[in-house]
Amino acid sequence: MPGDVAIALVLTTLAGLSTTIGSLMGIFVKEPGRRFMALTLGFSGGVMILVSFVELLAGGIEAVGFGLAHIGFFGGMLAMFLIDFMIPHEYLAEHHRAEGREQDALLKTGLLVALGIGIHNFPEGMATFAGTLQDVRLGVAIAVAIAIHNIPEGLAVSAPVYAATGSRSKAFLWSFLSGVAEPVGAVVAALFLLPFLNPTVLGLMLSVVAGIMVFIALDELVPVARSFGQEHLSILGVVVGMAVMAASLWLLQ
């Protein structure tokens, strides 16, 4: 178990800090291609959806039964809905920024997005942590999917901050801080849950994580992938993500 905890913390840190990749895109590349973003975000959504139902929720049902597992599943979805409702955040691609927006407004936009993303990343860190404790290969799959969807989040933070301040270091710093919330979530999960961890608690955690992942995929990844105007590519990304995840689970059995 201690070894799995260390792996879980490493995976969560890598997934969270992938926001810095988006940050670098916002600073140096400005904006990645629309086809690339549609395909990769759709792929990430497909991975999350399949792994949630095939591994996480299934594991929860096996551990705690159908009814309790689904209470946890919908509880996870409800928790993410409330977080999203109370503290919304936007990807840069979801809207067109008005020309000539003043620098103060741009800076405020970037910092608010960083705050929102940081709060959203907190339960994602717990999700990666719980998945890794169940199965390291499952944790890797979750971490990769979360890392992919963290890239445009980093872009959403760094681009307006850089435009407002002209400082690459400040843009990178705020993007980095928004991603740090993810390993913090894993550490909190480790501190508070490990002392009580048993098959029942882990099964319930997996069910809650499944709800969180499905909500992220349906509320963020698939809609944002389609917002790039590449509807067929985004759905193709979902299907390919599901197929790759299914194939990897099959081969690693």
Residue by residue, DSSP assigns 172-241 as: HHHHHHHHHHHHHHHHHHHHHHGGG--HHHHHHHHHHHHHHHHHHIIIIIHHHHHHTT-HHHHHHHHHHH
Given a cut of 70, whether residue 97 has pLDDT beyond it is no
Residue pointed to by tokens 């990430």: 44
Q: How far is CA 2 from CA 7, 56, 137, in A?
A: 9, 21, 16
Which amino acid is located at 232 in the chain?
A: H
pLDDT at 126 over 50: yes
**Res. 92: pLDDT tops 70:** no
pLDDT band, very low/low/confident/very high, at 105 (cuts 50, 70, 90): low
Look up residue 92 and give its DSSP letter. Answer: G
pTM, to two decimals: 0.68
Higher local confidence (pLDDT), 1 or 152 = 152
**pLDDT value, residue 239:** 94
Range of the domain at 71: 2-251
SS3 call for 78: helix
Mean pLDDT, all residues of the chain? 78
Residue 94 DSSP code: G
Dihedrals phi, psi of 122, to nearest 5 degrees: -60, -55
Residue-level pLDDT at 64: 92
Sign, CA torsion 26/16/215/43: positive
Q: pLDDT confidence of 100, banded at 50, 70, 90? A: very low
Number of domains in the chain: 1
Report pLDDT digits (tens) over 38-58.
887 788 788 889 888 988 899
* Confidence check: pLDDT of 30 > 60: no
The band of 195, judged by pLDDT with boundaries at 50, 70 and 90, is confident
- Sign, CA dihedral 66-69-72-78, equals negative
